[in-house]
Structure 1
Amino acid sequence: METIAVIDFETTGLSPHYGDRATEIAAILVRDGQIVGQYQNLMNAGVAIPGFITSFTGITTAMVRQAPPARQVMAEVADFVGDYPLVAHNASFDSKFWDAELARIGRARRQDFICSMLVARRVLPQAPNHKLGTLVEFAKLPVTGRYHRAQADAEMTAHLTLYLERELMRRFGLAAVSCRLLAKIQKTPANRLEHCVAGFGQRCA
């Protein structure tokens, strides 16, 4: 499979549209079933961290005050991932912060996002739910660190994405799984998964 960039943000809240900012980001490059590169940094956006966020993530205001400026971190991570397709668990959340933080430095996203949560809902409908922690336990994937920290969550999302690819290859006899197929699957009803994959048979071989 082509290279993908799996990302995860920690933030001060749920939406940049309400003034919330990113506090940490990690990006994991995955190629041919292997993690081939990593980037992680806390980022100082000049805002205080709410107490409930600290209790959730362990990230404190003092930690981000010692971190590089958000502008620097976003420029570095954007250069790191380049034009590779982006993957995130619950990508509707991460994509909003990616776009908003990039816009603050005068840059714009050129690639699409793939949501591993949406893909998992189609490929693993039997899972108890499709939260990252539940799927990691369900698929017996490695727990790489504390949940709700960017590095660990990005690594676990990368392992989950590779697991979903292997499951698709096993179930449908595919030689490989393309990003185009994953992007299509995330928009396909679970009961149409086989039809969706069949339409991409030659592209995935």
Structure 2
Amino acid sequence: MNTIAVIDFETTGISPGMGDRATEVAIVLLENGQVVDRFQSLMNAGVRVNSFITQLTGITNEMVQAAAPAEQVMREAARFVAKRPMAAHNAAFDKKFWQAELTRCGQDAPHPFACTVLLSRRLYPQARNHKLGTLAALHHLPSSGRAHRALADAEMAAHLLAQMQHDLKTRFGCNRADHALLMGLQRTNRHLVGPYLKQRSGA
């Protein structure tokens, strides 16, 4: 399967285990390096958005209260993703919320997650840091919308992932820069990236 679902959440905090909930979700489908579809929705999880989060994201309590219930949005999101493998920038964060919000509505979340932060540390060690905006500027990637809104960040992460797949093919000779290769690469010690990619070249 060549399609990867790139996801981004906006939330009330950093941990669903501490009661934080999602306020917005966006998913971008990336197929052979091209964005082919998008899903985005605010979501009402019945929690308040504090002033810091509103200042960071622009998402207000009024916006959340007017949104569809979180369970409805997550069911739609799950149908949109289907069985596709997933990716996110700082995937540990988004994976936690994806699993927690789907569990709340009785859905499984078996999707493997590639992480563009981990991948960038292996492919672009020269980067000043591995924040999404920094990497987008490094590669002159298109930017649309406001940072810290789910769709803008998901699209930027998708463009970054496409750049990585392009570089894996052109610089390292990996003909199939698919999700399985990305998962293997992000688990590889940074000092062993060269041998790993040499082994996968031509594959």
TM-score, length basis structure 2: 0.97
Whole-angstrom distance in 2 between the partners of 1:189 and 1:164: 18
- Share of identical aligned residues, percent? 51
Specify the SS of the correspondent of 1:172. coil
The number of aligned residues is 203
Q: Which residue of 1 aligns with 2:183?
A: 183
Q: Which residue of 2 aligns with 1:46?
A: 46
Specify the SS of the correspondent of 1:38. strand
Asked if the contact 1:11/1:21 (under 8 Å) is kept, the reply is: yes
Asked if the contact 1:24/1:42 (under 8 Å) is kept, the reply is: yes
- Write the deviation string for residues 38-89 of structure 1: whole angstroms up to 9, x where unpaired: 0000000011101000000000000000000000000000100011011000
Deviation at 1:176, TM superposition (A): 2.9
Deviation at 1:200, TM superposition (A): 2.5
Letter in 2 for 1:33: G
Q: Which residue of 2 aligns with 1:84?
A: 84
Deviation at 1:171, TM superposition (A): 1.3
Q: Which residue of 2 aligns with 1:158?
A: 158
Letter in 2 for 1:32: N
TM-score, length basis structure 1: 0.96
5+ long unaligned stretches in structure 2: none
Specify the SS of the correspondent of 2:29. strand
Specify the SS of the correspondent of 2:171. helix
Q: Which residue of 2 aligns with 1:72?
A: 72
- Write the deviation string for residues 104-151 of structure 1: whole angstroms up to 9, x where unpaired: 001111220000110011000000000001100111101111100000
Q: Which residue of 2 aligns with 1:23?
A: 23
Whole-angstrom distance in 2 between the partners of 1:11 and 1:199: 40
Q: Which residue of 2 aligns with 1:2?
A: 2
Q: Which residue of 1 aligns with 2:99?
A: 99
